[in-house]
Structure 1
Amino acid sequence: MRLLILGGTEFVGRALAEDALARGWEVTVFHRGRHPAPGGAGVLHGDRTAEGGLAALAHGEWDVVADTWSGAPRAVRDTARLLAGRAGRYAYVSTRSVHGEPVPAGAAEDAPVVESSPDAGDMPYPQAKRGGELAALDAFGDRALLLRAGVVLGPWENVGRLPWWLLRVARGGPVPVPEPRDAGLQYIDVRDLASWSLDAAARGLGGPYNLISRPRHTTMEGLFDACVRVTGSDAEPLWTPPGTFLSAGVEPWTGLPLWLPDGPVREGIYEGNAELAHAAGLRCRPVEETVADTWAWLRSVGGRAPLRDGLPGPGMGEETEARLLAAAGGAAGE
């Protein structure tokens, strides 16, 4: 199989490249040259946002194109149109957020989606991804595979969510963690996303698929315990009412990665429907494996997770945590 990855050097694109290379596929990555390409992959350079930036793609044929673009939809439009006659299938990495934020709890692939256009420039994330879907469908029709990912974790993560938890737990000591300890988490390991996506493209599947584990794949306690085990830390969870976090100025999701208090946003992110993909062979590895492999990768890059360009680092600062620990100690003892 000949695979062209538009990107291919970071997180999801990297996982796609590594998986395809392990299969013996012929892999070409098209990127701006800011990050090293995976060993064994052919390299084409270009900038999709620049005039003439697709020149390197003017020739060549591929069985599958994988596209992780999350910016202006017209970049997907231009690339997909250029490749439509020279590629078999177009796998576009989208998001469940195309259903609108907050995503309705239990939303399957046929739930309503936001309005957008393949010709649009910069837009909010849900509309941008939906515009990318429309661009892929416009150029490839039923040869377009729409990969609607949920929360993505695992090695090469350039968002910093799981790395933040690992690094904080590795420092040890009491760690404030929001109750309830059995709060469910639903996500997908980046390697499971990559493996299923390549299998699906090779099988000729098309249309939208939600790519995420089943609800309650793990819990806050399960995630924390896994982080303790793999880091060998003496960290102990200080289970704390959610209101204490909010009173201390901790922003859900950004100030404490992966945490959302009860409500529509949490339900939409952690109670999604992915039965269509599971019926088509999606398998999600246990949290212990995701955490252990992410820790091994994190240590291999010096314990500092690379962040996507322009993305602020997640997690609370030391002063906020100290304030929270003081408040949590009182709340936990009430």
Structure 2
Amino acid sequence: MDTALVIGGTRFIGRHLVDDLLAHGYDVTIFNRGNHDDPFADDDRASHVEGDRTNDSSLEAAAETVDPDAVFDCVAYYPKDVQAATRIFADCEAYVYISSGAAYGREEIPKREGETPLEPCTPEQAIDDSNETYGARKAEGDRAVFAAAERGVNAMSVRPCIVYGPHDYTERLDFWIDRVNRFDRIVVPGDGTNIWHRAYVEDVASAMRLVAERGEAGEAYNVGDRRLVTLEEMVDLIAAQLDTDAEVVTAGPRELAAGDIAVDDYVLYREYPHVLSTAKLAALGWESTPLEEAMARSVAAHLESDRTGREHGPDREAEERVLGILDTF
């Protein structure tokens, strides 16, 4: 494969995907609405086609103009998006859809492709735009990929868990980096051992390319760091990259109540462990970036940006009340 069309491609996962494709010699075209700054505007290796991916005519025009070997769908949030794309790009050598670990419908450790059932999706959920239906919509997108493969389309899916790294507009990891950078004592909800599987963004990008090149039609591939760490260990990783000491102070619901805080007010906290098996992807030859290296790049990007993530968690004044209560025990 030589040519790639990236639907999306200027913000987070798509941006890193374009970088990865260019680094591997692909002729890349980005298709989006042009609502965000294009980091590749001055890069002669990348072309740009403006259009709305929810408009089938725009997608059809892009398919005819670009005639890509591979299509990477970074912004398909509704099942109908996947259904339309797999029809329009049916003749491509590969169509890769970004699904999500949230598509899984049962809590088990680890969640495995083809074994752990997916979320059901009602017709009402399929067109809803709330966070509550995100996993169901992604699961229905997966089923659209499987149906397309049965029609002979070389369509595949990747399912990342929580994605982090440079240019992350969700600022979930930024909240924790900001905390460690500013304070010596870091409040961690629960007992610090909770695990919410995370995936470094560059690894998600390389996984998408590898799935396009080596994956099998109708298959889904989980993506996540090969080495998992607890929330407390993540704080320690951040502190090491900032060359600082951070005392982790764990607090359960009872202690957090002193600051009118709930455990799930914290980003990247999840009571039940969320773990994805990545063995299937690794069998294609994929490897993840060592955690220390991934965190070093993430911390450096945070320090160079104006992101703080502070609005995604409790304010420090509330945490100080919690720390005050804990210090009296």
Specify the SS of the correspondent of 2:312.
coil
Q: CA RMSD in A?
A: 2.7
AA in 2 matched with 1:25: Y
Structure 2 residue identity aligned to 1:45: E
Aligned residue in 1 for 2:113: 109
- How is 1:158-169 mapped onto 2 (pairs within 5 angstroms)? 158-169=169-180
Distance change >3 Å, CA 55–CA 247, structure 1 → 2: farther
Per-residue deviation at 1:326? 2.4
Alignment-derived partner of residue 17 in structure 2: 16
User: 2:307 maps to what in 1?
Assistant: 304
Which residue does 1:208 correspond to in 2? 220
Partner Cα separation in structure 1 for residue 99 and residue 39 of structure 2:
23
Matching of residue 62 in structure 1 with residue 68 in structure 2:
yes
User: Match for 2:26: what amino acid?
Assistant: W
Matched residue of 1:218: which SS? coil
Gaps of 5+ in 2: none
Cα separation, 2, equivalents of 1:159 and 1:89 = 29
Partner of 2:187: 176
Q: Report if aligned partners of 2:76, 2:97 keep a CA contact under 8 Å in 1.
A: no
- Distance in 2 of aligned mates of 1:82 and 1:252: 45
CA distance in 2, matches of 1:237, 1:7: 38
**Equivalent residue pairs, number:** 315
Which residue of the other structure, out of 136, 141, 150, is the alignment partner of 1:127?
Answer: 136
* TM-score, normalisation: structure 2: 0.85
In 2 relative to 1, CA 6–106 (structure 1 residues): closer, same or farther, beyond 3 Å?
Answer: same
Q: Residue 89 of structure 1 contacts residue 201 of structure 1 at CA under 8 Å; is this kept in 2?
A: yes
Deviations 1:242-278 (A, max 9, x none): 542366443445x2121223xxxx22x1x33222222
How is 1:29-40 mapped onto 2 (pairs within 5 angstroms)?
29-39=30-40, 40=43
- CA contact 1:143–1:204 (8 Å) conserved in 2: no
Matched residue, 2:78 = 72
Unaligned runs of 5+ residues in structure 1 are: none
Cα 1:209–1:117, aligned 2, differ >3 Å: closer, same or farther? farther
Alpha-carbon offset, residue 99 of structure 1: 1.8
Other structure's SS at 1:54 match: helix
Alignment match, 2:233? 222
Identity across the alignment (%): 30
The TM-score with structure 1 as length reference comes to: 0.84
Q: Does the 8 Å contact 2:30/2:47 carry over to 1?
A: yes
Q: Give the conservation status (yes or no) of the 8 Å contact 1:118–1:135.
A: no
Matched, 1:275 2:313: no
Aligned partners of 1:81 and 1:46: how far apart in 2?
Answer: 18
Tell me, yes or no, if the aligned pair for 2:4 and 2:29 is still in contact at 8 Å: yes
Q: C-alpha displacement at 1:143, in angstroms?
A: 1.2
Shift of the alpha carbon at 1:189?
A: 0.8
Paired letter, 1:294: S
Corresponding position: 1:189 with 2:200? yes
What whole-Å deviation, never above 9, does each CA across 1:161-220 have from its counterpart, x for those lacking one?
Answer: 111111111112322123534544532111111112212211243311111234x62233
